[in-house]
Amino acid sequence: MKTVNRQVGKYISYKLKLNNITYKDIAKSASLSYSIIALTLNGRKGSQRAKKAIATALGYADFKILEYEAIKAVNNELNKNNGDRNK
């Protein structure tokens, strides 16, 4: 199984924070450990159940949709920062 890119994980963590959702909330609702949620978003490990729980907590039907949005946002931010450096 593919792990989550760290920057993507940080973006998803940011979205969780904006929505006042903690790793503990997700873990409890999915009967998972806090650490598997944290490991999944830190790009170290992961499980399909953890990814599904994270996506569901943010209102997404599938983690791949959330991940795609996160990748787009991270790439946009990187491109913006690279553009600022070239000025």
More confident residue, 78 or 32: 32
Q: How confident is the model at residue 43 (pLDDT cuts 50, 70, 90)?
A: confident
Q: What is the pTM of this model?
A: 0.85
Mean pLDDT score, 60-81: 91
Percentage of the chain modeled with pLDDT above 90: 70
List domains and CATH numbers for the chain: 6-85 (1.10.260)
Burial of 42 per CB tally in 10 Å (0-12, 13-18, 19+): middle
The rounded mean pLDDT for the chain is 90
Q: Is the pLDDT of residue 1 over 90?
A: no
